Structure 1
C-alpha cells in the first residue's frame, strides 16, 4: 500500500515543486508507516522554516501522544490553541487531540470544564464533542454524555469515543440492543480496544448470554490487564460455568490490583465458601463488608456458608443474580 505513495512522493520531491507542501505530505506518510522519528524530523524542519502552523503543531503533538508523552503533547497543543484564531475548523483537530490527551492523563474535570467553555463560545467542534462525551461518561454525567454523543454521531457516525459513550449510556438505561450496535461498530475501528471489548462483554452478560460474553472479556483482559471490573466480570462468567480455578484466578488478579476494593474480597469469599474453606471465606466476607457495607458478593458467600444455598444450580442462580446486579449501572 505504501510503495505507490513512496513512488509518487519521490517523483514530486525530485521536481522540487512546492517543496514545503510535499515535505508535509512526506511526514504524513511517515506517520502512517509508524516512522515517528522520521516524521518528527521533517515536521521540526518545516516549523523552523515556516513557523508554527496548526497542522504541524497537531502532528508533532500526535507523535508525543503515540509515545504516551501526554505532557509534551499538551504543551504543544496549549500553545497551538492559544495562537490559533476562533475558526472552529482551524482548531478542531487541535481540540480533539487535546481532549484525548487530557482524557488519557485522567484530567477529567479540567477537560470537561474546557469543553463546556468552548461550547458556550460556539468553538467546540463536533469531533471534539465526541471526545468530550466520553469524558462526561467517566465523570458520571450521563445526561450530558448522551447529548454530546448524539451530536457527534450525527456528523461523525463512526467516531469511537462517541460510540463508546453512547453505548455506556444505553447500557445504563438497559438498552442492550443499542449498546451492542454501537460497540460492534466501534470494534470495527479497533479490534484491540480493551474498553470496547469489556463493554461488549458486559452487554452480553446483562442479557445473560454467557457464551457470547466470554470471548469478549477474555480478550479485554489481555488489552486492558489492569481493569478490575473486567477481571471480576470474567471471573463470574467462569464461576457460572463451574470453572472455579479460572474464576479464582481472575478474582485474585482483581484483588492484587487493589486490595481495598470490596467486591474482589466478596468474590473470593464466594469461591472459598463454595469450596467449604470456611475460615478463608469468613475472613474475606469481613473485609468486604468493612470496606463497603453495600457489597454485593459477601451476602452470597454468607448464604452459601449458612447452608441457605448449597446445591450447584442454586449457587449458579445466585451468581447470575449477583453478576447482573454488579454490572447494572442504574
Structure 2
C-alpha cells in the first residue's frame, strides 16, 4: 500500500508558498496601495493560507476604494465562509441576492454560496431544496460549473443518484457537460448503476485534468469500474491517486479497501474499510465490504456487527440481510440465519447471499472441504458484491485463520 504522508507535506509546502506569495504581494501594495487587482490577489492568497486578519485588511481597503462594489461584497461573504461564520455570510449574500439586474455569473456565485451554507448547516437535502427551482427551471440559463458541481453532489449525498444522473444526462445532451462537472456526475452515475455514463463521464473528467489536480470523484469511479472488471491493480492505482488528492476521502478509502479485498489482501482491506467508515459511517456498501472481509477472515461476530450496522441504515436492503444470514449460517446460528434469509429473499428473490446462506444451512457445512464443494456447486461464474466470482472470494473463508 502506498504511504500518503507526502500529501500532508505537499499541503504544508503549498501553505508556505502561499505565505511567501502574500508577503510579496503586500510588498507590491506598499508601492501601489490602490491597485485593485493586486488587492484582490492578496485577499484570495490570504484566504488560502488562513490569514484572516490580513485578508480582512485588504478587503476593507478595497471596499473603501469601491464602496458600492458587488464583487467585493461577495468577497466579504467569502471571508465569513472561510471562517465558517455562516450567519454573517448569509446576511451579506441575501442582501446581494435581493439586488436587481444581477449578471448570471454573479447570481450563480451568490446562489452557490447560499446553498453551500444550507449544505454545511442542514445537510444535502436542504441544499437540494435551495437549488431545485433554479437548477430544474427550463428558463434558467446554463449554470456555472461550480453551481452544477454543488447541485450534483448535493443530489448524490441526498441519496438521489438517479436524479443526479438524469440531470447530468440532459446537461450532456445540451453539450454543456464540461470536464469539471463530469467528475461528480460520474460518481452519481456509478451509484445509480448507469455504468456506461460512469465510464464516459469519468473519462471526460480525467482527459483534461492536470496530473496533480485530477478530479477525485472521477478517480473513485474509475477505481470502482476496475473492480467490476476484476482488475485489482488498476483499482488500487486509481484509489491511491484519489487519496493523494484528499487523504480523508471516505469513498476513495472504500474503493481501495475493495481493491485490496479483491486482491486477497485481507488484513490490509480490513484496515482500509475501518478508515473509510471513520470518514463515512453512513455508507452501506462499505459496511458490506467490511462484513465480507470479516467473513473471509472467519471473524463471524465482527461480520454480524457490520451487516447489522448496514441494516440500521436501511432495513429494506436485501444484501444486508443476505450478508448477515451468511455470517449467522457459518456461525451455526440457524434461527438467525433463517430469519435473514427469509427477509433477503422476500426483498429480492434473486439475492445471491441469501441463497448461499440457505445452502449452507441445508448442506450442514462443518468442514473446509464441504464448504469448498458447496461453493463450487452453487456459485461458479456468478457475480459477487465486487463483480468478482463469488467462488474466488467466499471460498477463501475456508482457509485457516491467520492465513491469506
Normalised TM-score (structure 2): 0.68
The runs of 5 or more residues in structure 2 that have no matched partner are: 1-45, 389-404
Partner of 1:329: 387
The residue matched to 1:74 in structure 2 has which SS?
helix
Partner of 2:88: 38
- Give the Cα separation in 1 of the matches to 2:336 and 2:59: 72
Matching of residues 1-330 of structure 1 within 5 Å: 4-14=51-61, 16-19=64-67, 20=69, 21-48=71-98, 52=102, 53=106, 54-67=108-121, 68=123, 69-75=126-132, 77-78=134-135, 82-84=139-141, 91-156=144-209, 157-306=213-362, 309-311=365-367, 325-329=383-387
| Deviation, structure 1 residue 150 | 0.9
CA RMSD in angstroms comes to 3.5
The farther-off stretch of 191-200 and 128-137 is 191-200
Contact between 1:262 and 1:288, CA under 8 Å: does it hold in 2?
Answer: yes
| Deviation, structure 1 residue 133 | 1.7
Specify whether residues 62 and 213 from structure 1 end up closer, same or farther in structure 2 by C-alpha distance, changes over 3 A only.
same
Contact between 1:269 and 1:281, CA under 8 Å: does it hold in 2?
Answer: yes
Contact between 2:155 and 2:161, CA under 8 Å: does it hold in 1?
Answer: yes
The farther-off stretch of 141-150 and 168-177 is 168-177
Contact between 1:43 and 1:60, CA under 8 Å: does it hold in 2?
Answer: yes
Specify whether residues 241 and 76 from structure 1 end up closer, same or farther in structure 2 by C-alpha distance, changes over 3 A only.
same
| Deviation, structure 1 residue 326 | 2.6
- Give the Cα separation in 2 of the matches to 1:83 and 1:260: 38
| Deviation, structure 1 residue 81 | 9.0
| Deviation, structure 1 residue 314 | 6.4
- Give the Cα separation in 2 of the matches to 1:170 and 1:293: 28
| Deviation, structure 1 residue 149 | 0.9
The residue matched to 1:328 in structure 2 has which SS?
coil
| Deviation, structure 1 residue 146 | 0.9
State how many pairs are aligned.
325
Contact between 2:128 and 2:155, CA under 8 Å: does it hold in 1?
Answer: no
Specify whether residues 297 and 318 from structure 1 end up closer, same or farther in structure 2 by C-alpha distance, changes over 3 A only.
farther
The runs of 5 or more residues in structure 1 that have no matched partner are: none
The farther-off stretch of 68-77 and 239-248 is 68-77
Contact between 2:187 and 2:220, CA under 8 Å: does it hold in 1?
Answer: yes
Specify whether residues 231 and 107 from structure 1 end up closer, same or farther in structure 2 by C-alpha distance, changes over 3 A only.
closer
The residue matched to 1:242 in structure 2 has which SS?
coil
Specify whether residues 279 and 152 from structure 1 end up closer, same or farther in structure 2 by C-alpha distance, changes over 3 A only.
closer
Contact between 2:257 and 2:269, CA under 8 Å: does it hold in 1?
Answer: yes
Specify whether residues 32 and 269 from structure 1 end up closer, same or farther in structure 2 by C-alpha distance, changes over 3 A only.
same
Residues 142-178 of structure 1: CA deviation (Å, up to 9, x unaligned) = 1222111111112235212222222222222222222
The farther-off stretch of 178-187 and 4-13 is 4-13
Residues 103-158 of structure 1: CA deviation (Å, up to 9, x unaligned) = 33344444334333333333232212222222322222212221111111122352
The farther-off stretch of 110-119 and 196-205 is 110-119
The residue matched to 1:326 in structure 2 has which SS?
coil
Normalised TM-score (structure 1): 0.81
- Give the Cα separation in 1 of the matches to 2:375 and 2:232: 20
- Give the Cα separation in 2 of the matches to 1:108 and 1:132: 9
